[in-house]
Structure 1
Amino acid sequence: MTTALTEQTLGNLACLIPGATRVFRQYKLDFCCGGNTPLRDAALQRNLDAEVIASELAALASESGTETDWRNEPAGVLIEFILERFHERHRDQLPELIRLATRVEQVHGNKHDCPNGLAEHLWSMQQELESHMLKEEQILFPLLRRDMQLPQTQGPISVMRYEHEQHGAALQRLAELTNDITPPENACNTWRALYRGLEELRGDLMQHIHLENNILFAQASAH
């Protein structure tokens, strides 16, 4: 069982096994933009034991899953979930994170472990994400809701996939600025609240990209 799992792609496993995305985040495996990579290869790249990870996934698979299997839902239902769970959430998250980051940099900017430049980076992420989400809301999602055929949707989908790669690079930069979102031992409450919010943003954005790349866009491309 575990050997078979190691041959499957991260994206497929994330679709297949409820809770798999939590395991992948724990091991820092990119299941969203890197969703086409087999588990064995992804583990090898990070010097991890693929069989150990596969065993954890197998244990999850044997439990009764309560999460929705979005592969079995109509595109319109998944789109509504993405809009409510992720688009609205990102619009709530980022202004507060920018405010907190600005505060931390103003107060602690002279400390060697202060994430100087984080507020500006988050502001750039906010601009990129807002532009991206508006394109989905105004162009791509209406096409997918009308079940438009392959030629009409493939251009917008390829643009969205490319922008997802940019979001992935922005998350990597976020990790570099924040010691992989790890607050120093002497961090104040504001600093810790900021990093809790950043961890939530990272998890949400990776799940958001996964649902689009590996399910919504994949199914639209398979029509």
Structure 2
Amino acid sequence: MDLMDQSLGQLARRIPGATRVLDAHHVDFCCAGNRTLRTAAATAGLDGDAIAAELLALQAREAQADGPDWSRATDTELVEHILTRYHAVHREQLPELIRLARRVEQVHGDREDCPHGLADHLMAMAQELESHMRKEEVVLFPMITRDQGAMARMPIGVMRGEHEEHGVALRHLVELTQNFTPPRGACTTWKALYTGLRAFRDDLIAHIHLENNVLFERFAPADVH
């Protein structure tokens, strides 16, 4: 099948390094992984053929994969990886990021380029993400690890919907921080905050991709369009 007519989720799963290419072009492969590359490029006004060529080049030189191939892991192995690599890490990241954001707003609130409202936005994200992760940990993941995944279509649908909301929150985070770019004269705390935010954003994107396009696809394949 032409790469242009494959879903973003399929491309991200099957081509090592594809996630880096798609992210560089600001193509949402995690929350909107069911769209084809053709549709996504047309919607965003991007050159889909050029992106496809980059992906083909990756395939041709067999680019090194980003870590283990989790598509080959068992359901239980994949769930355990998500819990330790993403759920636990987000719970460590967000309190510190909120603290740093509050500090920057308190000290530099008189500057026009201060990210006003950033700490409150992060607090809201933390609350939503904690609620989301708890639902997965209490309801969805136990179903999957107990071989009841065939019954999981409804909770998976709910989780995918919440992933879309996380995507909207991430886009606002990028807007508030000028794509995590500290302004001239930013203090060390400000720079550290933006570095941490970029890492959190990358982790959350990888987290959503792994769930939407790998784990959830095993039990509730998304419609491609």
Deviation of 1:114 after TM superposition, in Å, equals 0.8
Q: Which amino acid aligns with 1:55?
A: A
Structure 1 residues 19-34: aligned runs within 5 Å: 19-34=17-32
In the alignment, which residue of structure 1 is the partner of 2:95?
95
Alpha-carbon distance in structure 2 between the residues aligned to 1:189 and 1:47: 37
If asked which structure has higher relative contact order (CA below 8 Å, sep 6+), I would say 2
Alpha-carbon distance in structure 2 between the residues aligned to 1:133 and 1:51: 37
Deviation of 1:149 after TM superposition, in Å, equals 4.6
Task: Give the TM-score of the pair, scaled to structure 2.
Answer: 0.92
In the alignment, which residue of structure 1 is the partner of 2:173?
174
Structure 1 residues 123-162: aligned runs within 5 Å: 123-150=123-150, 152-162=151-161
Deviation of 1:219 after TM superposition, in Å, equals 0.5
Task: Give the TM-score of the pair, scaled to structure 1.
Answer: 0.93
Q: Deviations over 1:85-123 (max 9, x none)?
A: 101110111011101101110111111111100001101
Deviation of 1:180 after TM superposition, in Å, equals 2.2
Deviation of 1:56 after TM superposition, in Å, equals 1.7
In the alignment, which residue of structure 2 is the partner of 1:109?
109
Answer yes or no: is the 8 Å Cα contact 1:32–1:207 preserved in 2. yes
Q: Deviations over 1:56-102 (max 9, x none)?
A: 21222232534322222211111111111101110111011101101
Alpha-carbon distance in structure 1 between the residues aligned to 2:139 and 2:10: 27
Q: Deviations over 1:151-180 (max 9, x none)?
A: x31221111111111111111111121122
Structure 1 residues 181-192: aligned runs within 5 Å: 181-192=180-191
Runs of 4+ in structure 1 displaced over 3 angstroms? 64-67
* Gap change, CA 1:149 and 1:203, over 3 Å in 2: closer
Any stretches of 5+ residues in structure 2 without a counterpart?
A: none
In the alignment, which residue of structure 2 is the partner of 1:200?
199
Q: What is the CA RMSD across the aligned residues, in angstroms? A: 1.5
Aligned pairs, number: 219
